[in-house]
Amino acid sequence: MNAEDFMTAEMTVLSRFLEGKPNRDLETTQLVSCELLRSVGMDSINCGINTLQNDSLALPVAEVQYALSAWFEINKREMPWRITRNPYHIWLSEIILQQTRVEQGIPYFMRLTTRFPTVESLSDADLDEVLQLWEGLGYYSRARNLHKAAKMIVEKWSGLIPSALDDLLSIPGVGPYTAAAISSIAFGHPHAVLDGNVIRVLSRIFAFPEDVALSSSKQTLHKMASALLDVRRPGDHNESMMELGALVCTPKPDCPICPVRSFCKGFETGTPTQFPVKRAKKKTPHYHIAVGVIRDEEGRIFIQKRSLDSMLGGLWEFPGGKNESTESYQQTCRREILEETGMSVDVGPLIASIPHAYSHFKITLHAYDCELTSSTIPSTALSWEWAVNEQLQEYAFPKANRLLINMLTQQESGTTEGNND
């Protein structure tokens, strides 16, 4: 950005601060007092400029707001949902960005808004289609809740996203953060957001000493976020806080370019990376899963659909399950297929072992070629299909299963090419 662009951005921000009388006294003399910080439990902690042993002023709210706003005007990333205040787009983007990076989420946002341009079109869609469009994004309960929520919004609010916080909180898949984000960004309501990025920024600004995973800590941090909120532009303010955490105040912060470093107690200590304080993580469990690729006499492959109330509910999969420590993977494959489908198989050679990580555990999927030794009609309450390899692209599968399908496709392609030589 050249000097002229910088000055233009600066003047844009300054003019906003000078527009009319604000809803509350947010002139540069307004400060977060130590009395406020005492009220949220920080009664013996150094904060901002002075300590809490007296009633000295701690943090200049309007200066922080101005610094954030000026920085955000210049540095904010381009995102398709930022060019609109369409509540449907804001809601959809916030659901996608739960547990998903922006750069990964953008193609899914474009895909979903192209196929479902309105809440009504999403409500009318078949869940299988929604899950297939969501495939690869993970956390599939988000997609199921998105579909369920669309139906609720159509039935209860005639397809219009509600603006009231309590109404938003009643929507499936919408928690306190998402409700505050939609309410502030789409409707301009003064609700502060508290996500991982904001927690990191606030923890460093105030050198917050408590474990941020505790519910009491989150309540305190939310009060701090609310105290800093610019009620005239709550959406932009919330986005600036989140953007600062995403781009500058990262786990390894770039303090020299931070617009609020002069107000930051964590920076002042010289060890900002010690904040936020977090309890030691437990060791991530690792499970071994054995599944069977079962073909009938026509070469079709057996797949089944997971129940909606299970993890990865509504997705299709190859039959199988978790390995018990007393058995081999082949024994696991045979046992699980019999238990799940009622079909008996001979377990053949290993096709592949595929590692995959979820949020709280890891798996290795061991896939085996299996030959039926019983009827091709399974006895299971789950939905099931016999599908040729090409048809598998039409179903939504979990990531590890999809990787297996890609391997099977490559193997089949290689075999076909070999037969053509």
Least confident of 50-59, 308-317, 405-414: 50-59
Q: Within 10 A of 35 (CB to CB), how many other CB atoms are there?
A: 10
More confident residue, 61 or 123: 123
Mean pLDDT of 17-39: 39
pLDDT band of 379, cuts 50, 70, 90: confident
The model's pLDDT over 387-416, given as tens digits with 9 standing for 90+, comes to: 998 899 999 999 999 999 999 988 877 654
Q: What is the mean pLDDT of residues 200-212?
A: 95
Is the per-residue pLDDT at 338 higher than 90? yes
Class of domain 286-420 (CATH, top level): alpha beta
- DSSP 8-class letter at 78: P
Question: By three-state DSSP, how is residue 414 classified?
Answer: helix
The predicted pLDDT at position 280 comes to 82
Tokens 């690869």 found at: 136
Average pLDDT, whole number, for the chain? 86
Contact 23, 30 (CB under 8 A): no
Indicate if the pLDDT at residue 51 is higher than 60. no
pLDDT at 381: 66
Q: Residue type at 302?
A: F
Q: What are the tens digits of pLDDT across the range 84-136?
A: 999 999 999 999 999 899 999 999 999 999 999 999 999 999 999 999 999 99
Overall average pLDDT of the 235-263 stretch? 97
Calpha distance 249→336 (Å, rounded): 47
Q: Where are the domains of the chain?
A: 3-274, 286-420
> CATH homologous superfamily for 3-274?
Hypothetical protein; domain 2 (1.10.340.30)
Q: Which two tokens stand for residue 395?
A: 């179903």
Confidence at residue 6, expressed as pLDDT on a 0 to 100 scale? 43
How buried is 56 (Cβ within 10 angstroms: 0-12 exposed, 13-18 middle, 19+ buried)? middle
Q: Mind telling me the catalytic residues?
A: 94
